[in-house]
Amino acid sequence: MVVLAKGELEQIALPAAVQKAAPPLADVPEVDLGGGGARVDAARAVVAACEGHGFFKVTGHGVPAGLLARVEAAAAAFFAMTQPEKEAAGAVATAPGSPFGYGSKRIGSNGDLGWVEYLLLGVTAAAPAPLPAHGEASPSYSSFRDILNEYVVVVRAMICEVLKLMAEGLGLKEKDAFVRLASHEESDSMLRVNHYPPHPEFKQQGHGRLTGFGEHTDPQIISVLRSNDTSGLEISLRDGSWASVPPDRKSFFVNVGDVLQVLTNGRFRSVRHRVMVSSPRPRVSVIFFAGPPPRERLAPLPWLVVEDGGRRRYREFTWREYKASAYRTKLAENRLCHFETEAD
């Protein structure tokens, strides 16, 4: 991994006072897509989870365990490559000048640092494959890309199912209000593969804590995360405390993003989360960020404004505008406050 300038590592290492591990989240809300229960119950569970933590676990999703295992193995093989190989693969995965590609320790372009390396990819409409290439890829990277392309197709279908349940659970007349945004041919989605190597000095669990990915909310509609069995993900609860999410490699975890908070007029909560590194084992996670088309005008849905006594909590903006504003901020900043309306 890239060597940091003097003083930069101190920004990732936590001061002793905040080294305490977060307690595990006792009641991870769970939504079973497997059709075991009534659809109306699944829709209600999704809404309750989005209003509560803004976070839930999806089981019964039907994504083959074999595909998940192949993605995990391919990601581990990718990060095991040499630094120049990873950088070359990242360059193929991204158009020049875009924020995509391989990165190490530097998150975004506003000075955020974390004990993480990653591959960030733009996801386009399906033809011929959701992950575009911008040059000749090495055989190892092209097979990784093929697996990720397979993954993106099935995960996007699962996301659409979850978004339909949300609209049903909210009693919206427009049942495709959310799914339309994520499945549009110009939808601006992303795929991120994160690798948190164990710190060389962490020989045992609990022997230190580093910031892997600092606290933030995701700007998009929803993000769907799948990780290996290594812990690290933490969510912020309504009282401001942190809870760690027990890993579950068979399930997906859904985060409500900023756009969904706006569309629901603040009824759903864009969840603040982070990744802390304390394990002697590496964590590998894959996150799909479902975003709307750049030109899409986003504003609280009229029915939810009525239900809120007529109070419209956010002004209208386009995704292009929101994303540009978000990408000027540091990771931990509140990005939504710039779009709030004045309270009466």
User: Which residues lie near Fe ion (CB under 5 A)?
Assistant: 218
Partner touching 269 among ligand AKG, Fe ion, ligand L4NPZUNZ, none, CB below 5 to 8 Å by kind:
none
Closest to ligand AKG by CB, 187 or 255:
255
> What is the three-class DSSP state of 157?
helix
DSSP 205: T
Burial of 10 (0-12, 13-18, 19+ CB in 10 A): exposed
**What's the gap between Cα 210 and its chain centre?**
20
Could you tell me which stretch among 108-116, 229-237, 244-252, 313-321 binds ligand L4NPZUNZ (CB under 6 A)? 108-116
Instruction: Pick from 327, 334, 340, 341 the residue near ligand L4NPZUNZ by CB under 6 A.
Output: 327
Q: Site residues for ligand AKG, window 252-291 (CB under 6 A)?
A: 273, 275, 285, 287
The one-letter code for the residue type at 39 is: R
The one-letter code for the residue type at 14 is: L
Q: From 93, 101, 224, select the one nearest 152 (Cα to Cα).
A: 224
Q: Return d(Cα 221, Cα 226) in angstroms, integer.
A: 17
Residue with the CB atom nearest Fe ion in the bound state: 218
Q: From 250, 290, 282, select the one nearest 67 (Cα to Cα).
A: 250
Is the separation of the CB atoms in 292 and 317 below 8 Å? no
CA atoms lying within 13 Å on the CB side of residue 211: 24
Closest to ligand L4NPZUNZ by CB, 103 or 266:
103
The one-letter code for the residue type at 117 is: E
Partner touching 331 among ligand AKG, ligand L4NPZUNZ, Fe ion, none, CB below 5 to 8 Å by kind:
ligand L4NPZUNZ
Could you tell me which stretch among 3-11, 27-35, 274-282, 321-329 binds ligand L4NPZUNZ (CB under 6 A)? 321-329
Q: Is 224 in the site for ligand AKG (CB under 6 A)?
A: no
Q: Is 112 in the site for ligand L4NPZUNZ (CB under 6 A)?
A: yes
Site residues (CB under 6 A) for ligand L4NPZUNZ?
99, 107-108, 110, 112, 120, 190, 192, 216, 218-219, 289, 326-327, 329-331
